A and B are shown apart, each in its own frame.
Chain A
């Protein structure tokens, strides 16, 4: 299996802060990476796919970067709606898909 390691597990930040979450893959996944946001009691919502492509309707303050084994999700200016848990997921064709363990973004 390809293991996905997210950091940090929890992040405390204030409105307007720039926030970065990192995801590392245990082997090369090229750009087959997605980022999801999950609010309490809700289904996950895709933010970014293919590592850098912003899903339609997602605010432009969200961006993704990276390829190979190192990836980041950046929120350029944290808004009240953004306090949630974020997950990366690799979805290569040659391996079972896996999620990272999640990063909870809390209010500082």
Chain B
């Protein structure tokens, strides 16, 4: 069974760093791109970027370039989304999803709350 299992909810203060994860199972991890998608409270979906785990090539949305880092560790079939300096505006639900011609499986989402 294909699954993308994301790490648990996080509560952080502004200025802190954070890395959340997305572990794939039930398929060959390197055969599918992984995208990250943000959903702010009560708002729509925003595509942040994608990684090809096979060669770690990454494309970012200009809206997120420079503020987040996407990476992957193929040895443990896991993709990551990382912030070095969180802001209150980063409070949102973050989804990972896999893609190969279509985006078919999604993680359950990781809620990130940034508040002082």
Point out residues on A near B: beta carbons under 8 Å.
Answer: 1, 34, 36, 38, 43-46, 49-50, 53, 55, 85, 87, 89, 91, 96-102
Contacts and interface: CB of A to CB of B under 8 A. Distances in A.
B113 to A, nearest CB: 16
B102 A43 contact: no
Contact of A91 (B49, B99, B107, B109): B99
Contacts of B109: 43
A52 B102 CA distance: 12
A98 B95 contact: no
B106 A55 contact: no
A52 to B, nearest CB: 12
13 contacts: A36-B45, A38-B45, A43-B109, A44-B45, A45-B106, A50-B101, A50-B102, A53-B102, A55-B102, A91-B103, A96-B47, A99-B44, A101-B44
Greatest chain A CB density within 10 A among B44, B46, B50 is at B44
B83 interface: no
Given A43-B106, A55-B102, A102-B45, A97 B35 contact: yes
A98 B61 contact: yes
Contacts, number: 59
Given A44-B45, A87-B44, A96 B103 contact: no
Contact of B59 (A38, A96, A101, A102): A96
Interface of B: 35, 37, 44-47, 49-50, 59-62, 95, 97, 99, 101-104, 106-109
Contacts of A50: 101-102
Contacts of B108: 43
Contacts of B62: 1, 96
B45 A87 contact: yes
